[in-house]
Amino acid sequence: MEIPPRRAVRPHGGRAVNRPLPEPASPEGAPSRVDDAHAPRPRGRGLLSLFSRRRGEHGLRHSIAALVQEANEAEGDGTDANSELDRQERALIANVLRLRGITADDVMIPRADIVAMSVSLSQDEALALMRRENHSRMPVYREQLDDIVGMIHVKDLIAYAGTSEAFNVETLLRQPLMVAPQMPVLDLLLQMRQRHLHLALVIDEYGGIDGLVTIEDLVETIVGDISDEHDEPTAVLIQERPDGTFDVDARLPVGEFEARLGTLLTEAEREAEIETVGGLVFRLAGHVPARGEVLTHDSGLVFRVLDADALHIRKVRVRPPPAPPAA
């Protein structure tokens, strides 16, 4: 079992170094040696010994990944009664090993889903916005989202209440962390920890806002989904209808869509790195399609837009191509 990292779709949502494992020390501080074959072995010693034997050939990372895979296969065969690691531990290790290839761009909340606060809001309006969105932190912008002036914490707003000073949100702002989309999540996690920050903004090469990352998003890449009492129930992103069509949330990843309906992206669409069904429909139309607009894909799938506004595609209905006649 693996704990899959969650990609957030709604906000308010140092690199590890491989060092040699030290020899276990004896109580006197000298390296310990077990000469008695019947002496008890510390839990995990056999695992470390196996790591040591494999490191010379493949490296520590490869060795750990191979051992986790072997343990998973043994569990499937029903032969893992004496496994050094239980299923949950193996899942966590597997997720940690994948972190090297995960960047801020992979876990960020996309720009279209960022909820931010205008610097012109009054104190009551600012508190109402944070209460409505169930967020404790929020970016603050001046004229538009790309003009970020800082980040505000709800406790600073509450502390301001009851004072005789005229409210000015700019006096409460904290400097946000700005990062590139390519930053590895391990580096980002380290920076946020060092600076005691829970929120970072992802910017593109021109300084525009690409997305937002919270500390919760980063932790969830390791331990899986963390839900609290404010989280909305998980939405159903694809649902089959009695007539064989599918109602699909535009946020559904293309990979999950293809897993359900079969491979459909063309080579050009794969090179364009389309990530969601909404992105696919947008590419088909060449614009944000209006509600009711119908589009046909080269695969034969027919998309009808059920819900959209001037900026977003929200929901589509997909009709698969008719089945070929029986021979």
Percentage of residues in the chain with pLDDT exceeding 70?
68
70-79 long-range contacts (CB < 8 A, ≥24 apart) are none
pLDDT of residue 236: 81
DSSP for residue 171: G
Tens digit of each residue's pLDDT (9 = 90 or more) over 305-320: 999 887 788 899 999 9
pLDDT of residue 248: 93
Output 25 or 297, whichever has higher pLDDT: 297
pLDDT of 244 higher than 80: yes
Q: Where does residue 2 rank: exposed (0-12), middle (13-18), buried (19+ CB within 10 A)?
A: middle
Cβ count near 218 (within 10 Å): 22
Phi/psi of residue 253, each to 5°? -60, 140
Collapsed DSSP state (helix, strand, coil) of residue 128: helix
Percentage of residues in the chain with pLDDT exceeding 90?
28
Output 192 or 231, whichever has higher pLDDT: 192
What does the buried/exposed string (b/e) look like for 11-34 if buried means 16 or more CB atoms within 10 Å of the residue's CB? bbbeeeeeeeeeeeeeeeeeeeee
How far apart CA 178 and CA 82 sit, in angstroms, is 47
- Residue 184's nearest CA partner among 111, 112, 107, 113 is 107
How far apart CA 241 and CA 236 sit, in angstroms, is 13
- Residue 139's nearest CA partner among 11, 20, 289, 320 is 11
- Residue 235's nearest CA partner among 309, 168, 314 is 314
The mean-pLDDT minimum among 19-23, 96-100, 178-182, 236-240 falls in 19-23
The class of domain 1-14+44-233 in CATH terms is alpha beta
CATH 3.30.465.10 in the chain: give the residue spans: 238-319
CATH 3.10.580.10 in the chain: give the residue spans: 1-14+44-233
How far apart CA 268 and CA 291 sit, in angstroms, is 26
Strand 246-249 relative to strand 238-240, pairing: antiparallel
How far apart CA 185 and CA 96 sit, in angstroms, is 11
- Residue 209's nearest CA partner among 168, 149, 253 is 149
Q: At what angle do helices 254-261 and 277-285 cross, to 10 degrees?
A: 90
Q: Which of 13-22, 76-85, 196-205 has the highest mean pLDDT?
A: 196-205
pLDDT of residue 304: 94
The single residue listed with the structure tokens 């929020």 is 138
Average pLDDT over the chain reads 76
pLDDT of residue 117: 93
Q: Where does residue 201 rank: exposed (0-12), middle (13-18), buried (19+ CB within 10 A)?
A: buried
User: What is the rounded average pLDDT of the residues 168-176?
Assistant: 89
Tens digit of each residue's pLDDT (9 = 90 or more) over 255-308: 899 999 888 888 888 888 888 899 999 999 998 898 999 999 998 999 999 998
How far apart CA 75 and CA 83 sit, in angstroms, is 9
Output 103 or 15, whichever has higher pLDDT: 103
pLDDT of residue 29: 38
pLDDT of residue 311: 77
Tens digit of each residue's pLDDT (9 = 90 or more) over 49-95: 444 444 444 566 666 666 667 666 666 666 555 566 667 777 777 77
Sheet of 238-240: strand order equals 238-240, 246-249, 313-319, 302-308, 294-296
Architecture of the domain spanning 238-319: 2-Layer Sandwich (3.30)
The single residue listed with the structure tokens 């299923």 is 87
Phi/psi of residue 127, each to 5°? -65, -40
pLDDT of residue 5: 39
